[in-house]
């Protein structure tokens, strides 16, 4: 079908309260950022809604992109026609004609007209009949059901034109990006942390990513993989800051302690300390990880307890109660899965001991750290040597040179 524009509805929380103006502004900024690669499209704002005029861009390309906008509850592709009854009827019939292949033996429908422009000579009720009758005459298999129709044909009559649409496609929902503050997500190359980042963004957090690498133990490829993951997240956020932290020195020191089963615990604590310093520098108020309770040794409750104490900031774990299957399915839907499963090693998988502790002792861990007199200095150095890059929506992949497929899986809710 040849649509003219897309209608983006805000979530219900947007409709009232003193935050509305700020929320709407945020949504518009994100829509603009995501529309950059589509110069034909332009946007128009109205109370509780945003309209994107397609201007020749394809709706099948733009819908998957705009579904990512946080705070947008749903999207409808719209046909626009002049606000005159003959034109409206004609367009509505043509609209149903194009949807006819979706009709089963018996498909139920109703017309739901709304006269916003009061000068229009027919009431909403009259318009329902004026539009519905010719449709029923033309499509014998259609039956009217005003309660729960398969197709609800919406007809919004406005001064500047009448909007005709029927599909309501669910979008990301949640809170507009950044309206709940800023946080640092610890981004590994795995499946979980990108999902944790997305879930946090959906709750209205602006996220910056921190990644620890141990060159030359981890390859340039492994680093590029994480850059690609951050870039995939930028396809949702518009842009993402990624802090790349050299971790070789600290990691090597831990491997030389002869405390193999505590290495992961010690490494995680140092990562949190460095991330905390970066968070302070970037004015972020929380840390986020991809931990899921019981998934691996470092994610038992005793491990989380000992590791979590290394930071004073709130430590958010959006996936903590989720099953692996749910996490995997989300990662496929947000477009990070295919990157996450690439084989390049992560600094933590490299030195994984045979039996990492599932029940580390806080006193022992504290003692070990106290014997490492250079540790505070190394943590500061790691922060100083951190390299920060910004990734933008629609940029080409570092690994493949191709822009990522912008089509998300259709069944993503
Ligand atoms: P993921 O799939 O996110 O890697 P995981 O189940 O493999 O998670 P771990 O590898 O134990 O679990 O990591 C737990 C969390 O610690 C990760 O979700 C991530 O937030 C953080 N993390 C681990 N390694 C790194 C790293 N190299 N850089 C930044 N954060 C890391
Ligand atoms: Mg991992």
Annotate 95-150 with DSSP letters as a single string.
HHHHHGGG--SSEEEEEEEEE-STTSSS-HHHHHHHHHHHHHHH-TTEEE-SSS-S
Helix pair angle (263-282, 375-384), 10° resolution: 50
Q: Do 206 and 238 meet the contact criterion of CB atoms below 8 Å apart?
A: no
Question: Using CA atoms, how far apart are residues 98 and 161, in angstroms rounded to an integer?
Answer: 21
Nearest to 49 by CA among 156, 206, 204, 202: 156
Shortest-distance ligand to the CA of residue 225: 1
Nearest CA to ligand 1 atom 8: 192
pLDDT tops 90 at residue 400: no
Question: Using CA atoms, how far apart are residues 413 and 397, in angstroms rounded to an integer?
Answer: 26
Distance of CA 112 to the CA centre of its chain: 32
- Distance (angstroms) between ligand 2 centre and the Cα of 207 equals 19
- Distance (angstroms) between ligand 2 centre and the Cα of 364 equals 25
Q: Which residue has the tokens 């790691």?
A: 382
- Distance (angstroms) between ligand 1 centre and the Cα of 83 equals 56
Question: Using CA atoms, how far apart are residues 116 and 81, in angstroms rounded to an integer?
Answer: 15
Please name each of the domains of the chain with its CATH number. Answer: 5-170 (3.30.2130.30), 182-392 (3.40.50.620)
Top mean pLDDT of 38-42, 106-110, 313-317 is at 313-317
Lowest-pLDDT choice from 3-12, 14-23, 77-86: 14-23
Question: Using CA atoms, how far apart are residues 327 and 329, in angstroms rounded to an integer?
Answer: 5
pLDDT tops 70 at residue 21: yes
Residue 188: pLDDT band (50, 70, 90) is: very high
Asked whether 295 lines ligand 1 (CB < 6 A), one says yes
Segment 198-257, tens digit of pLDDT: 999 999 999 999 999 998 888 889 999 999 999 999 999 999 999 999 999 999 999 999
Question: According to the model, what pLDDT value does residue 140 have?
Answer: 87
Segment 336-383, tens digit of pLDDT: 999 999 987 666 566 667 788 889 999 999 999 999 999 999 999 999
pTM of the model: 0.89
Nearest CA to ligand 1 atom 20: 289
Q: Which long-range contacts (CB under 8 A, 24 or more apart) does 297-305 make?
A: 297/264, 297/356, 297/357, 297/358, 298/264, 298/265, 298/268, 298/356, 300/358, 300/359, 302/358, 302/359, 302/360, 303/265, 303/357, 303/358, 303/359, 303/360, 305/362
Q: Do 259 and 366 meet the contact criterion of CB atoms below 8 Å apart?
A: no
Mean of all residue pLDDT scores within the chain: 91
């Amino acid at each position: 079908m040849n649509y003219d524009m897309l209608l983006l509805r805000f979530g219900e929380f947007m409709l009232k309260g003193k935050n509305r103006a700020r929320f709407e502004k945020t949504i518009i900024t994100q829509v603009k950022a995501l529309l950059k690669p589509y110069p034909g499209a332009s946007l128009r704002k109205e109370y509780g809604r945003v309209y994107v005029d397609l201007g020749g861009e394809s709706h099948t390309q733009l819908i998957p992109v705009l579904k990512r906008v946080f705070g947008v509850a749903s999207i409808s592709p719209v046909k626009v026609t002049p606000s005159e009854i003959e034109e409206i009827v004609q367009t509505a019939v043509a609209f149903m004609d194009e949807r006819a292949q979706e009709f089963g033996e018996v498909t139920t429908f109703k017309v739901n007209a709304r006269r916003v422009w009061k000068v229009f000579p027919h009431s909403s009720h009259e318009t329902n009949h004026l539009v519905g009758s010719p449709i029923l005459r033309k499509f014998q298999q259609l039956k009217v059901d005003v309660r729960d129709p398969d197709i609800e044909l919406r007809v919004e009559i406005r001064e500047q034109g009448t909007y005709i649409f029927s599909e309501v496609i669910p979008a990301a929902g949640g809170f507009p990006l950044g309206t709940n503050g800023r946080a640092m997500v610890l981004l590994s190359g795995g499946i979980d942390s990108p999902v944790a980042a997305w879930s946090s963004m959906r709750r209205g957090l602006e996220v910056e990513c921190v990644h620890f690498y141990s060159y030359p133990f981890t390859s340039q490829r492994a680093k590029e993989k994480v850059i690609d993951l951050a870039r995939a997240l930028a396809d949702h956020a518009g842009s993402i800051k990624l802090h790349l932290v050299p971790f070789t020195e600290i990691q090597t020191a831990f491997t030389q302690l002869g405390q193999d089963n505590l290495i992961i615990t010690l490494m995680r604590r140092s990562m949190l300390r460095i991330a905390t310093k970066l968070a302070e520098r970037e004015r972020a108020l929380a840390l986020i990880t991809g931990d899921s309770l019981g998934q691996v040794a470092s994610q038992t409750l005793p491990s989380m307890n000992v590791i979590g104490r290394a930071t004073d900031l709130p430590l958010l774990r959006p996936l903590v109660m989720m099953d692996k299957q749910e996490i995997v399915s989300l990662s496929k839907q947000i477009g990070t899965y295919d990157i996450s499963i690439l084989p390049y090693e992560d600094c933590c998988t490299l030195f994984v001991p045979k039996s990492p502790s599932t029940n580390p002792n806080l006193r022992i861990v504290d003692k070990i750290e106290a014997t490492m007199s250079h540790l505070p200095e190394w943590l500061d150095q790691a922060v100083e040597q951190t390299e920060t890059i910004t990734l933008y929506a629609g940029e080409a992949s570092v690994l493949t040179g191709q822009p990522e497929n912008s089509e998300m899986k259709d069944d993503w809710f």
